[in-house]
Amino acid sequence: MAKVSWEDVINRLAEIVLPAGFGAEPRSKDLDSQSQEQTVQWTVTVPVNKTPLSFINIEARGRDASNPNVEVVAEPDSLGFVVVERAELNLAAAITDPESATDRILTIGQNFTVTADLQVDGEAAVIGEDLLRITLPEGYGTAEPLEKTTTPGVPAKWLIRAPNDPTPIQELTVEVVDRNANDENTNLPPPLTPNPPRVFIPVQTQAIGLNLAVLTDRKPTTVARGATEVPMFGLRFNNTSDAQIDVENVTLHLRDKDGNELAPNSVFSKLSVVDYRNSNTVFEQVSPMPANNPISIDFDPVLSVASSQQRSIEFTVDLSPQTEVKNFQFSIDSPRNDIVAKDVSSDTLVTIRDDSSGLTLVNAITPGLSVLFDANLEASFFNFPNPFGNNGHPTTKFNYSLEQDSEVTIRIYTLLGELVKTFSFTANDPEGKAGTHDGTIVWDGTNDKGQDVLNGVYVAVLVTDNGKATTKIAIAK
């Protein structure tokens, strides 16, 4: 738009001069107003692609009324501008809080937040507000208005509560129901995706669950008879729900490697449940041990696991020196029945789920077999696996038990008495400390020069401050 004024000028016209790629028809317009000024406007088409700073010039000219042979030219005016990408909107909606709900699997009665956003693409600004509406599946509720106005780029949020009962997969919907936000340049609503502007969020409500992981990193493969405070396995409870969960009971079964039940009091003198990070914190103890399975451990006070928190416990045992059992393993036969955990607010049982997959635990939990040996030096010294040396068992580990701190030396000989390998440790080294050593010394089948030894049978001699012991090792590559 341009405003042109004149005095004593005839044959007047105004012309728009455009950069390359711009268009306007017609470019020249007569100034035929009977007054001495006129406003002229052009509709200009711009290129499809954005451009750098450009200028539109407006020129006006005519003839001197007293001397038509003289051309009169006005001082030109210009308008600088850039062409930017038009605004486009994309409707996005998702569950954003708490993190445990972002997988769209909710616990019964859980509060969660749905966030919807009209995301702005392009360089042009969008001015005004659009109206969004959320539609909830049956059983879901909110105290907030279902319809909310929002400026594009500014999220709208709803706090929703899940039903109090488990539900199948249902769809929660967020849609744009009224458009009043316009592109600042076109003054029209920007293109909007998806079309129609509606987003579906599948949601499912499940009973409150407590995730469980079995910890075996400190469990020994071999255990000396009479050993005390031996860690057997741990349980890590991970509460990803909004509720507080109390663990009231854990029930264990004791069996040998063939699945035969063992009398707990024939193997152990005491079983303790301790804090996994601090074994001095004892939650429960079973002593004396029962004569029959199962071993039921009631927690008093209960083990409370707060919302979005973890808690880890460990089961330790004192072995009976007189036990004749050769091996044993613990089992939680039925996680859903043998671990009693409740939602505090509703006093209802929660499901026990695998911490890695989130699936309900159905099968028995067996942390692994432990083999018993006598605590004396000769009986406790052996290696496993034996034989070793193939791809499945490239190394072998030495087992031994020390009554007190001692220097430790293991020498490995051929059957002809040739020294092949030597391991030496002081009483201050971990390998020289009193107690059971379950694989702390490892042989990879090489000699002291780092060369592979031949297949065959070798003799290992353990020498300590309190005596020595021998064992035979077979290598089969």
What is the spatial distance between Cα 171 and Cα 202, in angstroms, rounded to a whole number? 4
Digit-coded pLDDT (tens) for 385-414: 999 998 889 999 999 989 899 999 999 999
- Does residue 315 surpass a pLDDT of 90? yes
Based on the fold, state whether residues 218 and 343 are members of the same structural domain: yes
How far does CA 103 lie from the centroid of its chain?
11
The CATH number covering residue 277 comes to: 2.60.40
Show which of 338, 372, 406 is a domain's final residue.
372
- Integer Cα distance of 328 and 333 in angstroms: 15
Supply the pLDDT for residue 222.
85
pTM: 0.58
Same-domain status, 223 and 331? yes
Residue 375, pLDDT > 80, answer no
Mean pLDDT of 68-76: 93
Position 82 scores a pLDDT of: 83
Q: What is the mean pLDDT of residues 316-333?
A: 94
Nearest residue to 410 via CA among 454, 375, 440: 440
Mean pLDDT of 411-423: 95
- The residue among 206, 229, 244 that closes a domain is 206
* Amino acid 196: pLDDT: 92
Domain of 239? 214-372
Locate all alpha helices (DSSP H) within 267-424, ordered by sequence.
335-338, 377-380
The pLDDT score that the predictor gives to residue 174 is 97
Quick one: 391 and 356 in the same domain? no
Question: Are the C-beta atoms of residues 331 and 255 closer than 8 Å to each other?
Answer: yes
Q: Between these two residues, 261 and 378, which has the higher pLDDT value?
A: 261
- 99 with 179, same domain: the answer is yes
Q: How confident is the model at residue 363 (pLDDT cuts 50, 70, 90)?
A: very high
Residues 400 and 337 in one domain: no
Site of tokens 């100034």: 31
For 94, 254, 380, the CA distances from 260, given in Å and listed in that order, are: 52, 8, 25
Angle at CA of residue 111, ends 105 and 113, nearest 5°? 80
Parallel, antiparallel, or unpaired for β 182-183 and 71-73? unpaired
Q: Which is more confidently placed, 174 or 375?
A: 174
End-to-end CA distance of the chain: 93
Per-residue confidence band for 147, with pLDDT thresholds at 50, 70 and 90? very high
Torsion angle (degrees, nearest 10) of CA 366, 372, 377, 383: -60
The pLDDT of residue 438: 85
Whether the Cβ atoms of residue 364 and residue 337 lie closer than 8 Å to each other:
no
Question: Are 265 and 333 in a shared domain?
Answer: yes
Which whole-number Å values give the CA distances from 143 to 111, 140, 331, in the listed order?
12, 11, 47
The pLDDT of residue 85 is 84
Question: Which of 372, 402, 435 is a domain's end point?
Answer: 372
248 and 341 assigned to the same domain: yes
Residue that the structure tokens 């379950």 belong to: 438
Sorting pLDDT into bands at 50, 70 and 90, what band is 200? Answer: very high
Output the average pLDDT for the chain: 93
Does 294 sit behind a cis peptide bond, omega within 30 degrees of 0 on the bond before it?
yes
- The DSSP-derived string for 44-104 is -B--SS-EEEEEEEEEEEEEESS-TTSEEEPPPEEEEEEE-PPPEEEEEEEEEESGGGTTS
Query: Measured between alpha carbons, how far is 249 from 52 in angstroms, rounded to an integer?
Result: 72
The verdict on 169 and 276 lying in the same domain is: no
On whether both 221 and 357 belong to a single domain, the answer is yes
% of the chain exceeding 70 in pLDDT: 100
In this predicted structure, the answer to whether residue 126 has a pLDDT above a threshold of 90 is yes
Rounded mean pLDDT of 454-477? Answer: 94
The CATH number linked to 418 is 2.60.40.4070
* Cα dihedral value 443, 449, 453, 459, nearest 10: -60
Whether residue 219 sits in one domain with residue 368: yes
pLDDT at 472 over 80: yes
Query: How would residue 276 be classed by pLDDT, with cut points 50, 70 and 90?
Result: very high
Same domain, 257 and 128: no
Residue 243: is its pLDDT beyond 90?
Answer: no
Domain count within the chain: 4
Q: Could you give the CA distance from residue 218 to residue 404 in angstroms, rounded to a whole number?
A: 21
Continuous segment of H or E residues that includes residue 454: none
The predicted pLDDT at position 100 comes to: 79
